């Protein structure tokens, strides 16, 4: 569209920059696209697994939004360092 991604190689090279731009935009809007369907008020924490329940409660209390933890939910992630899926110690 902008003429900067005419080949698969150019797309691969630019994916991380585009992803970061989108993550910043979603963070700034408090992930309004997610909240159209997944509003905190509609979540039944009793139906979630223990890990998800604990992570959601902690994230909400710390002012995080969906995109802070759920990167790659709609598109495959570009190569990045991330803690998602890493082994953690229960607190």
pTM of the model: 0.68
Are 65 and 73 spatial neighbours (Cβ–Cβ below 8 Å)?
Answer: no
The per-residue pLDDT for range 33-63, each reduced to its tens digit, is 888 888 777 788 888 899 988 998 898 899 8
**pLDDT higher than 70, residue 73:** yes
* Neighbour-count burial for 1-19, b at 16+ CB within 10 Å, e otherwise: eeeeeeeeeeeeeebeeeb
| Residues 4/10/16/18 CA torsion (nearest 10 deg) | 20
């Amino acid at each position: 569209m902008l003429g900067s991604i005419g080949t698969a190689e150019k797309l691969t090279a630019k994916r991380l920059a585009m992803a970061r731009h989108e993550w910043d935009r979603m963070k700034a809007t408090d992930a309004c696209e997610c909240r159209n369907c997944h509003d905190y008020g509609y979540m039944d924490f009793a139906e979630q697994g223990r890990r998800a329940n604990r992570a959601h409660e902690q994230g909400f209390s710390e002012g995080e939004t969906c995109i802070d933890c759920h990167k790659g939910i709609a598109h495959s992630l570009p190569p990045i360092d991330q803690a998602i899926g890493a082994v953690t110690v229960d607190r």
